[in-house]
Amino acid sequence: MTRILIARNLPESVVAEARGLFDVTYRDRPDPLSRDEMLEALAGYDGALVTLGDAFGADVFSEAGTPRAKILANFGVGYNHIDVAAAKAAGLMVTNTPGAVTDATADIAMTLMLMSCRRAGEGERLVRSGGWQGWHPVQMLGLHMSGKRVGILGMGRIGQAIARRCHFGFGMEVAYASRSEKTLDFPATRCASPEALAAAVDVLVVSVPASPETHHLVSAGVLAAMQPTAHLINIARGDIVDEAALIAALEAGVIAGAGLDVYEHEPRVPEALLALENAVLLPHLGTAALEVREDMGRMAVANLRAFFAGEPVPNPV
């Protein structure tokens, strides 16, 4: 029977489904695979269901030689922790879970946008500290989102879901920067570069996949192009934003605020960022809802099932 490693704790229904199809070894733990465990996953199993933090770099594949494993089914849409070219060279297919993550991730973008623009994190800390002196007409004034301009950096599935929420829900004007012109069912202006987009909007949302090309795409220069009243939101991957430059921009008032769900070196969040009142910080909650994680798990298992049945795999990357 096909041997599958499930590398991380998952919703029970997903594990049960996988057990119905395969000889499953279930590593019911929250921490990523160690290097030895990655090598064992490649040598001792036909395939593995892996996720964020399981760092299958080129070095792991070269040490593994000719692996037994033929597929890594990633639980998540982002697969920047896997060197896909090296995996393919070692004879492995990589799959992911697009679609299942879209709405939940867009919702977290809106959560961060509202929290950052309306100073909700700061307000909650004020109430909890016992320091709130009572309502007054000019207390904690934030940025009113209705009618403002939102810039989507990366207009893929998640970017479009965010843009739709902004346009239809908040009456915002949408602009975007993307490698290709998109056909959209709502009005949106395409900007020529991240800098041009940054300069044109009140809220800039990072929604591009992580890759060597997008590393530090939101640079000190892009931040400097933003308005001092503007907010940056990142729900993609931490290293797309130059975190040190962001901290400097928030400290100096180059931008008004930031809402982050992801960090350059997760789970490490720099002290300087923790100290900033104008930063809203979430612990990578993008898809953190049971039914979403179940859908992601079902997609990952469906990729494994199709692969071993010799059928076309639904979500190859």
Determine which residue in the list 52, 153, 249, 255 makes contact with ligand 8YV, applying CB under 6 A. 52
The residue nearest ligand 8YV at its CB is: 76
| Nearer residue to ligand 8YV within complex by CB, 76 or 256 | 76
156 is an interface residue for ligand 8YV by CB under 6 A: no
Spatial separation of the C-alpha atoms in residues 221 and 17, rounded to whole Å: 48
User: Smallest gap, in angstroms, from Cβ of residue 294 to ligand 8YV?
Assistant: 12
Round to whole Å and give the CA distance between 190 and 66: 46
Residue 51 C-beta: closest distance to ligand 8YV, Å: 5
- Find the catalytic residue in 40, 173, 195, 266: 266
One residue of 41, 46, 47, 51 binding ligand 8YV per CB under 6 A: 51
User: Which listed residue (118, 157, 284, 298) is catalytic?
Assistant: 284
Out of 121, 154, 156, 286, which residue is the one contacting ligand 8YV (CB under 6 A)? 286
Cβ(90)–Cβ(69) below 8 Å: no
Let me know: does 296 contact 76? Beta carbons within 8 Å: yes
Query: Least CB distance from residue 13 to ligand 8YV, whole Å?
Result: 17
243 annotated active-site: no
- Phi first, then psi: give them for residue 35, nearest 5 degrees: -60, -45
| Residue 118: how many other CB atoms lie within 10 Å | 17
CB atoms within 10 A of CB 233: 30
- Give, as ranges, the residues between 92 and 151 that touch ligand 8YV (CB under 6 A): 101, 105
* Rounded Cα distance, 200 and 225, in Å: 9
Q: What are phi and psi of 2, to 5 degrees?
A: -65, 130
The one-letter amino acid code at 199 reads: A
The tokens for 317 are 């990357």
Question: Could you confirm whether 216 is annotated as catalytic?
Answer: no
Nearer to ligand 8YV, 76 or 154 (CB): 76
Q: How far is CA 37 from CA 3, 28, 65, 110, 187, in A?
A: 15, 14, 15, 37, 49
CB of 157 vs ligand 8YV, minimal distance in Å: 11
Q: Quote the least distance from Cβ 75 to ligand 8YV, whole Å.
A: 6
* Contact code string over 54-83 relative to ligand 8YV, x by CB under 6 A: ---------------------xxxx-----
Q: How far apart are CA 99 and CA 317, in angstroms?
A: 14
Q: Is 144 a catalytic residue?
A: no
Classify 190 as helix, strand or coil: strand
- Can you give the binding site for ligand 8YV, defined by CB under 6 A? 51-52, 75-78, 101, 105, 286-287
- Give the residue numbers annotated as catalytic, written as ranges: 237, 266, 284
